[in-house]
Chains A and B, each alone.
Chain A
Amino acid sequence: MATRVSIGDDTSFAVVGRAKQKNWIGRKWAFITEWPILPISMISLLIVMALLADTPLYGGVTGFDPVRPVLGDRLYGPGSFQNERDTTRAIEKAEKNGTAIPDRPRHWLGADQFGRDVLTRLMKGAQISLLILLIATSVGMIFGTTYGLAAGYFGGYADEILMRALDVYFSIPYILLALVAVIVFGQSVVIMMGLLALLAWPPFVRNVRAEVLSLKERDYVSAARATGASDIWIMWKHIVPNVINTVIVIATLRVGQLILAEAILSFLGAGVPPPTPTWGAMVAEGRDYVEAGWWISFFPGIMIFLLVMSLNFIGDWFRDKFDPRLRNL
């Protein structure tokens, strides 16, 4: 994409070179402009938040518990201090035990309708979301890749049956399938992972299959077959290494969708059971209190947005770097 004919403005047919060929920042720091630094730091921040979520109360990061209701702090706005009574009580307790007197904790992002600190809940939620996403994406990735590999490699009837099965699977509205599954099996973290894995796999199938269809016709595959290599061996040694880039790119682009899906399911009450906080459930809980406390819904939504956006950026970057053919994804 070194040159592009621009059309429609006054300089039609001017050949416009790539804007910045030279890196203004110098060679040593070039990665700042080449890497998606902001999204990467956002994700890192999130991981740090998730890791810090379990530090002990008082003297911990926020000084609050993510699930224990504090009725004195109900609907406290962002930036407000913990209520008088609980503070004095904490100080008295510290004096009695002879421990250091704690600072008066502050609800930086407000407290919800049960007086639970929004920031603390966001941190705990990050922990749970990351765990669920990691497992769901991995399971979906492995299953989808294997499925696509089988369909593309064996071809013929196997391909037809597998692809038609995929189409049938697509015809069931996912969200309703998820709701029914939650009624049947009940709410739990494991079910949530399974449901997200169910959502994660289809794009892997389509793209991997398309790649395999052309890869299996290559000379080195025929050569391997001529020397007597088994199907499994050919797939593992000659085809999988060639599709791995595609798989990684799709995985990063897919995680964002999974986050949104998780949030939607939690919002509809089919997510991880309360009081465990997840971002989607937090938005849902705040719905009835938008008037009295907008911050309950607002901040989790912003977090979802930032996370999804960061993942999209990183996915785009991966794609441009490893597999530009996937542009239309």
Chain B
Amino acid sequence: MYKFLLRRLVFSIFTLIGATVIVFTLSRVMGDPRLLYAQEGGYGMTQEQYDHMGETLGLNHPLLVQYFLWVGDVVQGDLGQSLLARNDVTDLILQKAPNTLRLGLVSWTLATIIGIPLGVMSAVKRGSLWDYIGRTFALFGQALPVFWIGIMAILFFSVKLDWLPAGQRGEGFGQIKHFILPSMTLALAAAASYLRLTRSAMLEILDSEYIKLARAKGVGTQMVIWKHAFKNALIPPLTLSALLLVGFITGTVVVETVFTWPGLGRLAVTSTTQNDFPVMTGVVLMFALMYVVINLLTDLTYALVDPRIRIG
């Protein structure tokens, strides 16, 4: 097991290095970074000042050295300054990240507690009303665009019925109300994929020989479903949960835009539209880091759940 985890750990480090290379390349494809601060020869800038700026930004070094200088800064938590607000990108990200994490976790929990039981239900009672409800839900969740669901939810629950707030977060206990619409919107598609996967895994396992044996030797229905079948059917959804959390990265970008949620996703979009490149790269790196951490955690749980991996 340690060998497996060590391998994954080493690999995650490579992934992070790859991510920094891509981000750095993109930031250099943009052209001379000085042009972000000032137009060429603009704002009464003399040639000396222009050169000096290049020196402070480290542009007089070869590209490879520039990369290592930049990575050195990133490792120390210095992602540069925002072009517009002139404050540290790191501070900005640290300020926004908790909101996104909270939203992601709430949605993930919601998706799990809706998707997995519904999946088990629709597999066990195959062909019944529950199955139809489950399958319809899966169909809608997978084919409806997230942002459209968000907008329609705002139209119904905020505008027409005036039950729930559509935007900004409140204080204290009132926060819960603000979480409902965004987290449900984000959770819907995830719950649908959980449902589909749990259903097919359960169906496959309920059809297997050892379930028949368990039934034949007289184990109760509930016992068979939850102990024999469910525990084994849990592995595919577990692998999916990593993908889902990663999918939430895309999801939060969209949902945060729809609900004007002050998180990382919205920061990414606003910094894009405002051409605030340092913020943009910072957010991309942050998401890449999240991805790597999530994957490591999944591998860990995967190893705990599936003995074949632990031993092999």
A residues whose Cβ falls under 8 Å from a Cβ of B: 4-9, 12-13, 164-165, 167-168, 170-177, 179-184, 256, 260, 263-264, 267-270, 280, 283-284, 286-287, 290-291, 294, 297-298, 300-301, 304-306, 308-309, 312, 327-328
Do A176 and B268 form a contact, CB below 8 Å, given A171-B291, A328-B236? yes
- Are A172's CB and B19's CB within 8 A? yes
B70 in contact (CB, < 8 A): no
Chain A interface mostly helix, strand, loop or mixed? Answer: helix
B residues whose Cβ falls under 8 Å from a Cβ of A: 11, 14-16, 18-19, 22-23, 26, 29-30, 124-126, 128, 139-140, 142-148, 151-152, 154-155, 159, 197, 200, 206-207, 211-212, 215, 221, 224-225, 236, 246, 249-250, 253-254, 257-258, 268-269, 272-273, 275, 277, 280-281, 283-284, 287-288, 291-292
Contact partner, A184, options B16, B26, B197, Cβ 8 Å: B26
26 A-B residue pairs with Cβ-Cβ distance under 8 Å, sorted by A, are A4-B126, A4-B207, A7-B224, A8-B206, A8-B221, A12-B215, A168-B15, A171-B19, A173-B288, A179-B269, A179-B272, A180-B284, A182-B272, A183-B30, A183-B272, A183-B280, A256-B143, A264-B250, A268-B257, A280-B147, A283-B148, A287-B151, A305-B144, A305-B145, A327-B200, A328-B236
Name, among A12, A13, A177, A287, the residue most crowded by chain B CB atoms within 10 Å (CB to CB).
A287
Chain A residues lying within 8 Å of B254, measured Cβ to Cβ, are 175, 264, 267-268
CB distance from B135 to the nearest CB of A (A): 12
Chain A residues lying within 8 Å of B287, measured Cβ to Cβ, are 173, 176
- Are A180's CB and B26's CB within 8 A? yes
Chain B residues lying within 8 Å of A168, measured Cβ to Cβ, are 14-15, 18-19, 22
Chain A residues lying within 8 Å of B29, measured Cβ to Cβ, are 184
Contact partner, A280, options B145, B154, B200, B225, Cβ 8 Å: B145
Q: How many A-B residue pairs have CB under 8 A?
A: 157
CB distance from B82 to the nearest CB of A (A): 15
CB distance from B277 to the nearest CB of A (A): 7
Chain A residues lying within 8 Å of B125, measured Cβ to Cβ, are 8-9
- How far is A267 from B29 in the complex, measured between Cα atoms in Å? 25
Chain B interface mostly helix, strand, loop or mixed? Answer: helix
Chain B residues lying within 8 Å of A173, measured Cβ to Cβ, are 246, 249-250, 284, 287-288, 291
- Are A6's CB and B144's CB within 8 A? no
- Are B151's CB and A5's CB within 8 A? no
Chain B residue nearest in CB terms to A279: B145
CB distance from B211 to the nearest CB of A (A): 7
- Are A283's CB and B225's CB within 8 A? no
- How far is A171 from B221 in the complex, measured between Cα atoms in Å? 42
Chain B residue nearest in CB terms to A10: B221
- Are A171's CB and B272's CB within 8 A? no
Do A9 and B148 form a contact, CB below 8 Å, given A264-B250, A327-B200? no
Chain B residues lying within 8 Å of A171, measured Cβ to Cβ, are 15-16, 18-19, 288, 291-292
Q: What 3 A-B pairs have minimum CB-CB distances, sorted nearest first?
A: A301-B148, A168-B18, A8-B124
Name, among B23, B140, B197, B284, the residue most crowded by chain A CB atoms within 10 Å (CB to CB).
B284
- Are A291's CB and B159's CB within 8 A? yes
- Are B126's CB and A6's CB within 8 A? yes
- Are A9's CB and B128's CB within 8 A? yes
CB distance from A178 to the nearest CB of B (A): 10
Chain B residue nearest in CB terms to A16: B127
Contact partner, A294, options B143, B144, B155, Cβ 8 Å: B155
- How far is A5 from B249 in the complex, measured between Cα atoms in Å? 40
Contact partner, B288, options A172, A264, A304, A327, Cβ 8 Å: A172
- Are A298's CB and B152's CB within 8 A? yes
CB distance from B224 to the nearest CB of A (A): 7
Chain B residues lying within 8 Å of A312, measured Cβ to Cβ, are 139, 142-143
Do A268 and B22 form a contact, CB below 8 Å, given A9-B128, A171-B288, A309-B139? no
Chain B residues lying within 8 Å of A5, measured Cβ to Cβ, are 206-207, 212
CB distance from A246 to the nearest CB of B (A): 18
Chain A residues lying within 8 Å of B197, measured Cβ to Cβ, are 328
